Amino acid sequence: MQATSHSLSISIDFDTIRAAHERIRAYIHRTPVMTSSRLDEASGASLFFKCENFQKIGAFKARGATNAVLALDGTTARRGVATHSSGNHGTAVARAAKLRGIPAHLVMPSNSAKVKIRAVESYGAHVVFCEPTEKAREEKCAEVIEKTGATLLHSFQNENVMAGQGTAAMELLEDVPDLDLVMCPVGGGGLLSGTAVAAKSMQPKIKVIAAEPENVDDAAQSFRAGKRIVTKKKFTIADGLRTNVGEPNFAIIQRYVDDIVTVSEEAIISAMRTIWETIKIIVEPSAAVPYAAIQEGKINISGKRVGIILTGGNVDLDALPWSCSRDR
Amino acid sequence: MQATSHSLSISIDFDTIRAAHERIRAYIHRTPVMTSSRLDEASGASLFFKCENFQKIGAFKARGATNAVLALDGTTARRGVATHSSGNHGTAVARAAKLRGIPAHLVMPSNSAKVKIRAVESYGAHVVFCEPTEKAREEKCAEVIEKTGATLLHSFQNENVMAGQGTAAMELLEDVPDLDLVMCPVGGGGLLSGTAVAAKSMQPKIKVIAAEPENVDDAAQSFRAGKRIVTKKKFTIADGLRTNVGEPNFAIIQRYVDDIVTVSEEAIISAMRTIWETIKIIVEPSAAVPYAAIQEGKINISGKRVGIILTGGNVDLDALPWSCSRDR
Closest alpha carbon within chain A to B37: A56
| Among candidates A32, A58, A324 on the partner chain, residue whose Cβ is nearest the Cβ of B324 | A324
Interatomic CA distance for residues A191 and A170, integer angstroms:
12
pLDDT at A25 over 70: yes
Q: Is A230 on the interface with B (CB under 8 A)?
A: no
> What is d(CA A65, CA A52) in angstroms, rounded to the nearest whole number?
14
Other residues' Cβ atoms within 10 Å of the Cβ of residue A287? 32
**What single string gives the DSSP state of each residue in B140-155?**
HHHHHHHHH-PEE--S
Q: What is residue B128's three-state secondary structure? A: strand
**Per-residue model confidence (pLDDT) at position B8:** 61
Please indicate whether, in this complex, the C-beta atoms of A281 and B277 are within 8 angstroms of each other. no
User: pLDDT tens for residues B28-83?
Assistant: 999 999 999 999 999 999 999 999 999 999 999 999 999 999 999 999 999 999 99
CB contact under 8 A, A282 and B273: no
Contacts of A276 in chain B (CB under 8 A): 282, 317
Half-sphere exposure at residue B105, Cβ-oriented, CA atoms within 13 angstroms: 25
- End-to-end Cα distance, chain B: 48
Comma-separated ranges of CATH 3.40.50.1100 domains in chain B: 2-61+158-310, 73-150
Instruction: Please tell me the distance from the alpha carbon of residue A143 to that of residue A153, in angstroms, as a whole number.
Output: 14
CB B53 within 8 A of CB B59: yes
Cα angle A91, A254, A216 (rounded to 5 degrees) comes to 55
- Nearest Cβ partner of A276 from B32, B273, B282? B282
Residue B299 CA, chain-centre distance (Å), reads 21
What is the three-class DSSP state of B297? coil
A42-71 per-position pLDDT tens digit: 999 999 999 999 999 999 999 999 999 999
User: Exposed/middle/buried for A241, CB within 10 Å: 0-12, 13-18, 19+?
Assistant: buried
Dump pLDDT digits (tens) for A147-157. 999 999 999 99
Band the pLDDT of A8: cuts 50, 70, 90.
Answer: low
Q: For residue A64, give the amino acid letter.
A: G
Q: Residue B279: which H helix or E strand, with range?
A: helix B265-279
Q: Across all residues in chain A, what is the average pLDDT?
A: 94
| Confidence band of A112 (pLDDT split at 50, 70, 90) | confident
Reported as a pLDDT band with limits 50, 70 and 90, residue A306 is very high
What is the 8-class DSSP label of residue A327? -
Q: Which residues of A touch B282 (CB under 8 A)?
A: 276-277, 280-282
Query: Does A41 reach chain B within 8 Å, measured CB to CB?
Result: no
| Residue in B170, B202, B190, B195 with CA at minimum distance from that of residue B257 | B195
**Contact present, B167 and B63 (Cβ < 8 Å):** yes
Fill in the DSSP letter of residue A86.
Answer: S
Strand partners, A108: A129
What is A73-150's CATH topology?
Rossmann fold (3.40.50)
Q: Are A306 and A183 in contact (CB under 8 A)?
A: yes
**Contact yes or no for A295/A267 (Cβ under 8 A):** yes
pLDDT on residue B40? 98
Give the chain B residue nearest A272 (alpha carbons).
B317
A232, A230, A233, A241: which is closest to A263 by C-alpha?
Answer: A241
Given this model, what pLDDT does residue B134 score? 84
d(CA B27, CA B69): 12
- The minimum CA-CA distance between A315 and chain B, rounded to whole Å, is 8
CB B28 within 8 A of CB B62: yes
Residue B34 is predicted with a pLDDT of: 97
pLDDT beneath 50: ranges in chain B: 1-5, 325-328
User: Does the beta carbon of A30 lie under 8 angstroms from any beta carbon of chain B?
Assistant: no
Q: Please provide the size of chain B in residues.
A: 328
Q: How far apart are CA A69 and CA B5, in angstroms?
A: 68
pLDDT one-digit tens code per residue, B211-241: 999 999 999 999 999 999 999 988 999 999 9
The H or E element containing residue A8 is none
**Alpha-helix runs per DSSP H in B59-178:** 61-71, 74-78, 88-100, 114-122, 134-148, 159-175
Q: Decide if A218 contacts A189 (C-beta within 8 A).
A: no
> What is the rounded average pLDDT of the residues A235-258?
96
Helix, coil or strand: residue A316 = coil
Q: Which residues of A touch B273 (CB under 8 A)?
A: 317
Question: Which residues in B lie closer than 8 A to residue A323 (C-beta atoms)?
Answer: 320, 323-324
Alpha helices in chain A (DSSP H): 2-5, 14-24, 37-43, 61-71, 74-78, 88-100, 114-122, 134-148, 159-175, 190-202, 218-225, 247-256, 265-279, 289-295
**Which of the residues B280, B324, B325, B328 would you substitute to probe the A interface, choosing the one with the greatest number of A C-beta atoms within 10 Å?**
B280
Position B119 scores a pLDDT of 87
Instruction: Round to whole Å and give the CA distance between B239 and B213.
Output: 10
Contact A195, A184 (CB under 8 A): yes
Give the ranges where chain B is alpha helix by DSSP (H).
Answer: 2-5, 14-24, 37-43, 61-71, 74-78, 88-100, 114-122, 134-148, 159-175, 190-202, 218-225, 247-256, 265-279, 289-295
A68 within 8 A of A161, measured Cβ to Cβ: yes
Q: Is the dihedral of CA A235, A237, A243, A248 positive or negative?
A: negative
Starting at the edge strand found earlier in the chain, the sheet holding B81-84 runs B126-130, B104-109, B81-84, B151-152
A2-61+158-310, CATH topology level: Rossmann fold (3.40.50)
